[in-house]
Amino acid sequence: MRILVIDPVAGAAGDMLVGGLVAAGADCEAVARAMASVVAEPTIEQVDRAGIRATRVRTHAGHSHRSLDEVLERVERADAPADAITLARRVFLRLHAAEAMVHGDDHVHFHEVGADDAIADVLGAATALLSLGVDGVAVMPVPLGPGTIAGAHGAYPLPSPATVAILADAGVEARLESGAGDELVTPTGAALLAEFQTRPWRGLGLFTVTAVGYGAGTRNPPDRPNVLRAMLVETGLFHDDHVEVLETNVDDVTGEVLAHAIARVMEAGARDAQALPALMKKGRMGHLVRVVCRPEDGPRCARVLAEELGTLGIRSTPYVHRFVADRSIEPVEVTIGGETREIDVKYGLLDGKVYTLKPEFEQVRDWATALGLPLRTVARAVDEAAGRKDEPRQ
């Protein structure tokens, strides 16, 4: 999979995102055309930021205050791909929702983020992202620093209330950056990151960097590079995922209770569950019960374990990387003794080729019972009908 990793080294703003994506290989001509259709032709140049070569984007736009309808009208008229215009609309709707929540007014004007330069930056960033053709976007934690900034309503705390509202709504992770004294993440930058993000950065696993670019911020402090980094990475053959692992030790329940607990926790959303024999303290024999589940299902599965097993403590290991192959379930026609049935077969694929297959056990068992044949005879016939394991499949 081809993933875009956005690392807001010193912060995130619209122009920094455009610069970083262009430097990482986005279609510069399409980006410039989209931005120029809103304001004048942008300047895209190479600059130095504390020793790092970075791409700076300047829109040459003036100041303006627009309503949401006015902003969306300008976006719709832009010379940009249709999907980029749709993405830009979502960004501004997200900005509007944050402004309305902060000001308590459904008729808010965008003030700073309604200026033509913000419209150009959003359109440019949306065009740049889509031109990269990535399979997903991961956003690393954004830096937030203390201080105040002059805005349309006076001195506002940093990070700005709209920025905080956007990050909170989208679940974008942040980190505190002491001593910065400047606005590190603008509302426009936050809205772009929130709309771009499709996957957690923690679940990336192993990858290879294929391209990297740096987008320059306006300021150029001598002690730190004011840049945003965009990396294109290729993950391995497997899709990566992250799961939560729950564990507890029990030595006072029967096998029947354990079996029932496993059945219930699977019904609660667990991906896998098992009970392993274990030697407990004082030489007692017991079991280690282990459950693999999605992080969002962890609390529910833990409650089931507590209810069914009476355990007083359940250990949780979050964000365990799990590599998952492509898979598909397809019906396969099988004929045995003149009778034909469709049996569901699960295929595991690497690079489009089947490397493993497994018929659905219950269907094979039921047909073997109906035919009065050994299970292995029917299973072998299904395997043969399902094809060779290295057969290319789409």
DSSP string, 109-165: --GGGGSHHHHHHHHHHHHHHHHHT-SEEEEPPEEE---EEEETTEEEESS-HHHHH
Write out pLDDT tens, residues 252-270. Answer: 899 999 999 999 999 999 9
- Mean pLDDT of the chain, nearest integer: 88
Question: Which residue from 182, 175, 178 is spatially nearest to 221, judged by alpha carbons?
Answer: 182
C-alpha to C-alpha distances, 337 to 258, 341, 382, nearest whole angstrom: 41, 11, 13
Peptide bond into 200 cis (omega under 30): no
Full set of structural domains in the chain with CATH: 2-237 (no CATH), 243-324 (3.30.70.1380), 326-386 (3.10.20.300)
> Collapsing DSSP states into helix, strand and coil, what is residue 89?
helix
pLDDT tier, 219 (very low <50, low <70, confident <90, very high otherwise) = very high
pLDDT (average), residues 141-159 = 78
pLDDT tier, 321 (very low <50, low <70, confident <90, very high otherwise) = low
Rounded CA separation 276/290 (Å): 8
Write out pLDDT tens, residues 6-37. Answer: 999 999 999 999 999 999 999 999 999 999 99
pLDDT at 280: 87
pLDDT at 323: 64
At 168, the amino acid letter reads: A
Rounded CA separation 140/190 (Å): 12
